[in-house]
Chain A
Amino acid sequence: MDRRSFIKIAAMTGLAVSAPLGVRRAFAQPEPYKGPFFVLVNASGGWDPTYLCDPKPKGAVNRIYDAPASAGKLKYAPIPIDDASLGLDPGSAAYLMSNQQFFEKYAASLTVLNGIDMATNNHDGGSRATWSGRLAEGFPSFGALVAASRAPESSLAYISSGGYDATEGLIPLTRMSSIDALKRVAYPNKMDPNDAESDLYHSNSTAARIRKAQDERLAEALKQQRLPRVKAAMNELMLARASDDVLKDLVLPGELVTLPGYQLSDLQALQQQVQLAVAAFKAGMAVAVNLNLGGFDTHGNHDRDQPRQIAKLLKGVDFLMTEAEAAGIAGNLVVMIGSDFARGPGYNGPSEYDGKDHWSITSAMLMGKGIAKGRVIGGTTDDQRALAIDPASLGLKEGGKVLKPETIHLALRKLAGVGDNELAKLFPLAGDDMPKLLTG
């Protein structure tokens, strides 16, 4: 059976494809993954770039700020944040990050892509296109593709907290939660994972004996099995067990972030996702992580809720960079921030409580290893129509090409070094090739 057929079967069965059927690479421990690490931050529900990185003059599109502000070459929407305007309990805004704070800190590191044509205004399709590069179903998320390409032996390489995380059978998906539970499973043979001198359930030699018997029995069963789905499941168990010891290197934070009040619970969850993601990267476990923050689908109360969620999102990204810096992996991190699509171009009613509906022309922001710094590519008109660019110079050009998810993902795949590999070829993208789009 060739690999394409195998992957096809695995995709149909939803089971393991990271190693050929019946073959396991010598039961060896996968080497810790050293990077680069990919973080895909999803603003779920459809964000409003005009209130973030694609600012507009005050008017039908923008009712909040007077005029765009600048940080370096980047323009942004200078929306002040305070408890009252964001509808938060007193003191809550202090836990968030304003656009001004964010862009003053990160503008020099960012590539901002404006005027991306998502060709849809439905949530599922938009999210799929943003994170896989294709509107139609059937393609893995970028996180799954890069994880399966760079660490095919690790069944922990792709961790997701939400957003589009289809794997198409390339690699298992991992979720992380409770630190206490993770500590216990990091040391399954220790009765007390917090005690270095803890009693063991089995002596080390017995544990090794059990493992050897397990492996031999499973290998024998696999040898005799012919049904693809069952074979794939057995193969998957082998791979998953091979990763057991990787958790030993997982240094978990002493405790997860807690923020006051229900209103910040989503930011708290995002920051906790960040803590676990950074720990997983540092341990060499993970290649790619999906982070997710909801609440952007502001059909109503847009002017209160959208800036509040953006301020949470930016705080979450800032927290990610800070934690990554502390863990010594910031220089090895690639971050993409995106959403299903945009909102607009105007409001769906005159009231201050009205919202903005779905709009297909959106933006994305990237920073990190290999990403060109301090740039804006593409643009939109004042009524949020996409402006075309020259594929070579990347400058705005009438009659040029409008940015599309396919184009961005072609560039992203190249940046990640997986553009021409076997897996990527199984999921070809038809976008315009703009080799310097992300790297400059």
Chain B
Amino acid sequence: MTRLPRRPRLARPAQAALAALGLLTGLALGCKGGLGGDSCVSTREYFADEVWTNVMSRKCITCHGPGGVADAAGAEFNLLPSSYPGFMDANFAEVTENSSVAYDGLSALLAKPSGQTKHGGGEVIKTDSEEYRILESLVKQLESPVECSDDDLAQLEGVVVLSPEETLRKASLHLVGRLPSDAELKEVADGGEDALADAIHGMLDEDAFYDRLGDIFNDLLLTDRYTAYTGFAVDLMNDEDYPAAGAWWDGTDGQDDLRLKVNTALAREPIDLINHIVRNDRPFKDVLTADYTVVNPFSAKIYGLSPKFKDPNNYNEYQEAKVSITRDGKKLAIAHAGVLTTPMWLNRFPTTPTNRNRHRARMVYKLFLATDILRIGERPIDPTQSLDYTNPTREDGRCTFCHQQIDPIAGTFQNWDDYDQEKLVPDREWYPEMYPPGFNGEDLTKAEFPKALQWLGQHVVEDPRFVVSTVYTVYRGLVGQEPLLYPADPDSPTFKTDVAAWEAQDSLLRKIGDDFVAADYNLKTIIEQVILSPYYRGVTTDEEPSEDKALELAAVGTARLSTPELLTRKIEAVTGIRWLRPWDLSEYLRTDYKILYGGIDSDSITQRLGRLNGIMASVSARMANEVACAVTAWDLTRPVEKRVLFPKVTLDHVPLGPTGDEIPDSIADIKANIVHLHERILGEKLDLEDPEVERTYQLFLETWKEGSASVTAGKENAWLSWQCMVRVDPNTQVELPEAQQFGDDPAYVIRSWMAVVTYLLSDYKFLYE
């Protein structure tokens, strides 16, 4: 396996152990101009802060941007607006290039806008203006650019981040749905940040990680739509090319299960291809360039393939394969282009005879180039004027702006049918009135048409925006929020702080992108580095931030509401049981409560809810009650070495004696178990004397006092409710032997612990990451 380059080190070693919520300790990050930092301003920063903000975004972009007068006139100096990913780097490069051109010894950057040489726009900046002075300063700097030491976290002064052990717990639950092992914890405790990076890297080899990665990429591709029922995906396949998509399983043993597996394998083919690429440390470029797909024993049959599987019944065994179809007795090979040629991607983003693949082109921009073409093209227009043109998409400036970007990509999908989305249509005549097939100004030759999507994939992955897009996708998946957009309104009172927030994040994400490229596009690099960043690890600040500082830090911090899928895994990881529907063993948060809890169905609901509403709070309340009910007696009555929640107490541990006197040893054990529960469920290490331990103990004590008195008085039962008794294995619902069944709670100990477990399972630190 290729060893990945080391993550970038945090800007400073541990500065101080700071209390977060009185419970967490962490690292305070260094700062520019503080904590030993410097006040270096690089030329690129000067360009971003002064030249772009005060001059070019105001004076130049209108004409020199896409669709502008200068652009239309073929000017050599072209700028990108802030809606383009990577616009700042691209513009800085353009300006650097332009600055080196001189007219009578004066840089074009000064001569043109001031009208001292021929400029289509005439004089737009006066030589005695502040704008001119800023440009002068830039030109001077560009003669010998200032570069500063690479301190990605400079803007994040005073942010306290999770310690390595705490980060390990968070990452472990998130990536692989389990708590870290004792060995991992020890290694990280001893080895600090370096050991943490190693531990995270190790997790990326676990099968469970690929469940999570699949979730992240399904949020993008939405192909899980076709897992909705057992025939959704297979029914879409045309049986002319894929005759095995018929019901060949009918009459076989376990036909329903078989059909489900076949359908799932087909529906998840794009996701499984991505997982295959990442698992095998392939360059992530393969997501668009792989000249193969992956099949398991079940999807192989759909394609009429019979690769040698080690275990033909193993759903999780994947092999690379090349698909071909038979037409008129002749074999036609599919020219695979990663996910783009998978049947479910083509169906999920369909076309029509009049749409002509433009929707697909838009999705290529959105999913793989971090470019929302509609946003870029969005400005008030009067489309009704287009009626004056015979072919407005190529003649009317209101239309060409977008269509010259969209239509060439659309043309590269020409080999796929307009009605039967996954059906290959070779040798099709494309529309001559549209912009010719291509990408970024480069056209395909006719000879390349049969493999047009392969051509597209190879060109898209070489675009810098592919890297930006991939970093954004991982960031979104792990941090749970959108990367910041460059602030659009320079007149906004918060513009400066907004820019500072954007620059801090953009700087880090660009650095991660550079490392991703240096690691031969290994996606694991991005995952590791996002996890190690303060955007994933920030827990508080070392002092109350000023208003401006608060705005700068608005995107920082570990405050992501767990998705239904993440919470499902977390429940099992910490309690040892799953929150299940008893009748079919489906997890509630993946079925009944998925949408209510803000999840997606990959069909009509495709945006996750990142903010808790009242119904979601009620779902979490029910979860806490039901899980506490199912797990408390179950765990308390298991052999002590098997208990995960109650290793330090028994059913005989009560806080007070018959006369109401405290039982010190018993109280100590109860509190020790409370400390254990706080660590196990919430990840916080507390002393016995911690006020939070006392708060939890008081909940236990008061519940026990009231409940035991009620039992004694005959107001409450001495046994548990039916659902909370130990009758079945909570994970299988299989009835237990009678000797293991248990339901008595005369001392009210079980119900008191149930209250504690409910309390902890509904805590902020459990529901949020």
Task: Give the B-binding residues of A (Cβ under 8 A).
Answer: 1-2, 4-5, 8-9, 12-16, 117, 119-125, 135-138, 154-156, 162, 172-178, 180-182, 184-186, 188-189, 191, 199, 201-203, 205-206, 209-210, 213-214, 216-218, 220-221, 224-230, 232-234, 236-237, 240-244, 246-247, 269, 285, 292, 294, 299-300, 345, 348-349, 354-355, 357-361, 384-386
Contacts and interface: CB of A to CB of B under 8 A. Distances in A.
A360 to B, nearest CB: 5
Contacts of B615: 156, 174-176, 182, 185, 247
B625 A202 contact: yes
A247 B618 contact: yes
B735 interface: no
A361 B611 contact: no
A283 to B, nearest CB: 11
B567 interface: no
B614 A240 contact: yes
Nearest to A353: B353
B596 A300 contact: no
B255 interface: no
B716 interface: yes
Given A188-B625, A206-B707, A217 B763 contact: yes
B595 interface: yes
B625 A120 contact: no
Contact of B621 (A188, A217, A300): A188
Interface string B501-544: 10000000000000000000000000000000000001111011
B561 interface: yes
Contacts of B618: 185-186, 188, 244, 247
Contacts, number: 277
B230 interface: no
B134 interface: no
Contacts of B550: 1, 5, 9, 228
B555 A13 contact: yes
Given A124-B378, A227-B539, A230-B539, 12 more contacts: A1-B550, A13-B554, A124-B374, A177-B595, A202-B625, A203-B710, A206-B707, A227-B541, A229-B553, A237-B612, A240-B616, A361-B384
Interface string B586-601: 0000001101101000
Contacts of A300: 352-354
19 contacts: A9-B551, A14-B482, A15-B559, A117-B382, A124-B375, A174-B615, A185-B596, A185-B619, A201-B724, A203-B710, A206-B703, A206-B755, A224-B540, A228-B553, A228-B554, A229-B555, A230-B539, A247-B615, A359-B383
Given A175-B596, A226-B544, A234 B764 contact: yes
Given A202-B758, A209-B702, A217 B494 contact: no
B588 to A, nearest CB: 8
B3 interface: no
B706 interface: yes
B148 interface: no
A120 B375 CA distance: 12
Contact of B541 (A122, A180, A226, A292): A226
B378 A181 contact: no
Contact of B559 (A203, A206, A229): A229
Given A178-B592, A210-B755, A240-B617, A226 B543 contact: yes
A156 B614 contact: yes
A4 B159 CA distance: 23
Contacts of A9: 550-551, 554
B312 to A, nearest CB: 35
Interface string B366-403: 00000010110111111110010000000000000010
Nearest to A181: B592
B762 A360 contact: no
B316 interface: no
A300 B350 CA distance: 13
Contacts of A199: 721-723
B378 A136 contact: yes
A175 B598 contact: yes
Given A206-B707, A299-B354, A12 B764 contact: no
Contact of B378 (A125, A228, A358): A125
A181 B593 contact: yes
Contact of A227 (B353, B379, B387, B557): B557
A12 B501 CA distance: 10
A298 to B, nearest CB: 10
Given A209-B699, A233-B768, A227 B382 contact: no
The 3 closest A-B pairs by CB, nearest first: A243-B614, A233-B559, A240-B617
Instruction: Report which residue of B22, B592, B626 has the largest number of chain A beta carbons within 10 angstroms of its beta carbon.
Output: B592
A197 to B, nearest CB: 13
B628 interface: yes
A97 to B, nearest CB: 22
Nearest to A357: B354
Given A121-B383, A213-B699, A201 B626 contact: yes
A227 B721 contact: no
Given A247-B614, A300-B353, A230 B557 contact: yes
B383 A216 contact: no
A230 B755 contact: no
Contacts of A185: 593, 596, 615, 618-619, 621-622
A60 to B, nearest CB: 11
Contacts of A384: 384
Contact of B613 (A173, A186, A202): A173
B481 interface: yes
Contact of A213 (B353, B482, B596, B696): B696
A185 B612 CA distance: 14
Contact of A174 (B21, B22, B613, B759): B613
A2 B550 CA distance: 12
A395 B501 CA distance: 49
B592 A180 contact: yes
Contact of A184 (B622, B722, B764): B622
B334 interface: no
B63 to A, nearest CB: 21
B387 A229 contact: no
Interface stretch (B267-275, B439-447, B448-456, B602-610): B602-610
Contact of B558 (A138, A203, A230): A230
B754 interface: yes
B70 interface: no
Given A16-B611, A203-B707, A299-B352, A175 B595 contact: yes
B496 to A, nearest CB: 12
Interface in B662-692: 691-692
A125 B169 CA distance: 42
